[in-house]
A = this chain, B = another copy of it.
Amino acid sequence: MKKKPSLKDIAERVGVSTALVSYVLNGKMKGRISKEVASRIKAVAKELNYHPNQIARSLKTNKTNSIGLLLADISNPFSSQIARIIENEADKLGYAVIIGSSDESIEKSEKIIDVFLNRQVDGLILSLPANSDHIVSDLKTRDIPFVLVDRYFPAIPTNTVAIDNYTASEDVVNHLLENKYKNIGVITYDTTLVHLNERLRGAIEQTKANCKIGKVRLGHIQEDVESAIESFLNTKSPIEAIFFTSNLLTISGLKYLNKQRVIIPDDLGIIAFDKTDAFDLFYTTITYVNQPLPLLGKEAVRLIHQAISDNKKKEQIFLSADLIIRESTSRK
């Protein structure tokens, strides 16, 4: 890889100082540079195919125009869609995005954040694993600009963009009740993650605690989903509808229900939080909570941009998700 041209190379060719070249190419000191010199500099820059060395610029300006994006699991479609949106939005503001995936590990999150910070990212957009409150507090103490997306920690006031999960869950339950599904089962993760527990809480409150709950351990999804469903159905008053609080849970559940020849929606109503391409292949269309991912990403980028220029104000944004009603909750 041969050396790229620098300001100095241009300066030498034109016969001026590097300072002048810098001023011209950055459009500074407008009315004070002679037109001829300016155009010669620009011509030579183009001729040499000059691109400023962002590393050097960063060192001087203390801005890298990059943000670190930490996701829980980049191979989950939810994460990768967010990644795509954030990357696009960030690009519009001139930020490059460095992505890391924590696989729900606290240690890995800490490590990746360290890597981000060593590379002097201007700010962080984070979707943290459970029980990582200390990471949030720490970043806050260090006054590092960051925004939480999707997953949030209400106890710590900080920039946050998330879904109004509680209300979405209320809507889910209301829809089920309106459609005469009375006996409702909720399948969710066994976790301390607030956004998931809010989904559960919404269901509990709205059913006046009249719902059954199946908790699924991370790393044992298929296994635990199956036993939850079994316990829901093999009982005197079997469940009439199941509410899955995440896309992976839904997939596992539907897979199992397929195997058990449980017919949706005749035998059982189904409602999902978040959707996936996979629903397209199921024989029935699935009713689901649609999360406004584009807005989520857009707001996250807006907030981090704001935090980078001024980290005083903290905003907490909760976006409403809407229920997309399909056939899986329309029993005859």
Residues of A within 8 A of B (CB): 1-2, 51-56, 58-59, 64, 66, 73-75, 77, 79-81, 83-84, 87-88, 91, 96-101, 114-115, 117-120, 142-145, 251, 254-255, 258, 276-283, 311
Chain B minimum-CB-distance residue to A252:
B280
CA separation between A33 and B204, bound complex, in Å? 65
Decide if B96 touches A119 in the complex (CB within 8 Å).
yes
Decide if A117 touches B51 in the complex (CB within 8 Å).
yes
Q: Name A118's contact: one of B51, B118, B258 (CB within 8 Å).
A: B51
Q: Which residues of B contact A96 (CB under 8 A)?
A: 98, 115, 119
Q: Which residues of B contact A97 (CB under 8 A)?
A: 98-99
Q: Which residues of B contact A77 (CB under 8 A)?
A: 75, 77, 80, 277
CA separation between A120 and B119, bound complex, in Å? 12
A-B contact pairs, 8 of them (CB 8 A): A53-B59, A54-B119, A54-B120, A55-B55, A66-B119, A96-B115, A98-B99, A276-B277
CA separation between A174 and B88, bound complex, in Å? 43
Q: Which residues of B contact A2 (CB under 8 A)?
A: 142-143
Q: Which residues of B contact A64 (CB under 8 A)?
A: 55
CA separation between A143 and B2, bound complex, in Å? 7
CA separation between A320 and B101, bound complex, in Å? 28
Q: Name A53's contact: one of B66, B88, B120, B255 (CB within 8 Å).
A: B120
Decide if B120 touches A100 in the complex (CB within 8 Å).
no
Given A55-B64, A276-B278, 17 other A-B residues pairs in contact with their CB atoms under 8 A:
A1-B144, A51-B117, A52-B118, A53-B59, A54-B118, A74-B84, A75-B81, A75-B83, A80-B83, A87-B99, A88-B101, A91-B115, A251-B277, A255-B280, A258-B281, A278-B278, A278-B280
